[in-house]
Structure 1
């Protein structure tokens, strides 16, 4: 796709009169995902529909927003500016929703929450049930995303709340611990150590490993990498994924040992599909409720936040 698209840039009407917000929202998803296919999944649309929306927006603006290089693409200078403005526009719409909701008596609206996969927390589940009973007009959209993508979306105000690991304190980000995950090593029934008792930590140092993609020094699961570094583990990495269910799949298939959160996999252990390895606890990781302190909340978002914070208070007092 050429930069100019061969189009004459419209001059009669301003962009605010030409541009369809739905097209801008679609472009926002494309730019954040850097993928037509992933944007289509996120927006619950077909790939041709997303591609056509991008084409129509570029025609309305009279300029290219992305540059293709085979299957990959990058934003043009105009695309970068369009994304910035799209994020600002979305924030303004959120403020409009907040202003309109503030004059009504009922709590009506949708809340978007991004979450890492596999969160198990009774207080969280109870808070959602309580919110449903108290505010039947409150709709909730929960989308599973990688940890780093959640932090990025909160920074850009494209999501209001997140459930994620946050090892770094950002001045704009508020957080409260929702639940804690305790990690230990496991192997599956295909592994030669399955069912073997009396295994020492030293005997595991050369074992093939299955890792989370964020399990790196400086990553969100830095504590796991730090443990291996301190104990001199040098086993080859035979698989990795950002999704905990896929890490579990590779462990069960015998590709290596993996450090998994308990009690997320206690069911598999109870069924005899996972064998615990030493040490009993490698580390503890907080799953935090996160929100951008600088973002104005709608009434629906405010009551949702209050409900979840009640759940975090239960954990703090436990």
Structure 2
């Protein structure tokens, strides 16, 4: 193929490209095979294969390398996927935006939230939003932080409230609050209820933790704290959901990390027991993440602005929970 071939001119691609082909490609890119994509689209496999071939002909590039036991996006496929996700998200939002053009704020807000985000600032903003705009509706999806950010990138979520590792230059970030992690055990654990514990007492005990509790991930400070406590190398349970990590700790599977302010009620109810260290606990920041490029309905913009205003007007000391 010649690079200056008019058959592949941008103007021709823009004129002739079928939006449905892009939607099909997004599903293909997020699947493990054409068969998997066909099942999600409720189409026959030959139909999806034909759609892929048509798209490759329109774009002028091979998009997916397929062979027995191998299914992967090409470099061109990865580039198209990044763009197609945003395009597909914008198209999906068009009918919603048109339907919500009324005097009352009736829009729907979908928030992707990391597991068990606890913040009075967020609660107050939601309460005021509902009081001011009772016709607006809300969905809160609990997901891992990485998936929450992916939902914002794909314009499937209005915004996210989650932990953040690497910053995507196409998104906006604002710290909502800071929480501090401690180590805890449950009633069946041999350390439960002991007031005389030192960090040396934790040595060799098994632990439970989060899937992102690794040196290269966002919970690196928690990983370092566990290492300093000389907990055993054996991690008996992991989860991306805080509630499930809490469940495993309470059940006695091992010592595990939790935000101190989230664990406070369980401490009072004697479902959890905090173990050393008690000083210099690792801080973890929780962020509001949104895309300026995503067209927002009125409800989304109002709630986003309210959260940003609350963050701006609340000193970080009042947004730090220990």
Q: Write the distance in 1 (CA, Å) between the matches of 2:129 and 2:46.
A: 40
- For 1:57 and 1:128, how far apart are their aligned partners in 2? 45
1:58 corresponds in structure 2 to 48
**Is the aligned partner of 1:284 residue 2:286?**
no
Map 1:1-318; keep pairs closer than 5 Å: 16=18, 19=20, 24=23, 28=26, 31-32=29-30, 50=40, 52-53=42-43, 55=45, 58=48, 61=51, 63=53, 74=71, 83-84=81-82, 86-93=84-91, 96=94, 100=98, 105-230=103-228, 232-281=230-279, 282-316=281-315, 318=318
Q: Over residues 27-58 of structure 1, what are the superposed CA-to-partner deviations in whole Å (9 max), with x where a residue is unaligned?
A: 7467547699xx9xxxxxxx997362575961
Q: What displacement does 1:195 show?
A: 1.2
Between the aligned partners of 2:261 and 2:44, the Cα distance in structure 1 is 44
Number of aligned residue pairs: 291
Going from structure 1 to structure 2, the CA distance change for 1:54 and 1:305 (only over 3 Å counts) comes to farther
RMSD: 3.7
CA contact (8 A) 1:127 1:311 kept: yes
Structure-1 separation of matches of 2:296 and 2:44: 30
For 1:58 and 1:186, locate their aligned partners in 2 and report how far apart those are by CA, in whole Å: 50
Q: Secondary structure at the match of 1:206?
A: coil
Alignment CA distance shift 1:29-1:175 (3 Å): same
Q: Which runs of 5+ in 1 are unaligned?
A: 1-13, 40-46
1:152 deviates by 2.9
Q: Structure 1 CA distance, aligned partners of 2:47 and 2:132?
A: 41
Alpha-carbon displacement from aligned partner over 1:254-288 (angstroms, at most 9, x marks no partner): 11100111222222222211111112252121211
CA drift at 1:316: 2.5
Deviation at 1:124, TM superposition (A): 1.0
TM-score normalised to the size of structure 1?
A: 0.75
Distance 1:110 1:53 in 2: 30
Q: Secondary structure at the match of 1:263?
A: helix
Determine the C-alpha separation between the residues in 1 that align with 2:229 and 2:185: 19
SS at match of 2:243: helix
Shift of residue 115 of structure 1?
0.6
SS at 1:218 equivalent: coil
Distance across 1 between alignment mates of 2:185 and 2:256: 7
**SS of corresponding position for 1:207:** coil
Tell me, yes or no, if the aligned pair for 1:178 and 1:311 is still in contact at 8 Å: no
Q: TM-score, normalised by structure 2?
A: 0.74
Q: Displacement of 1:117 after TM fit?
A: 1.0
Structure 2 gap segments, 5+ residues each? 1-15, 55-63
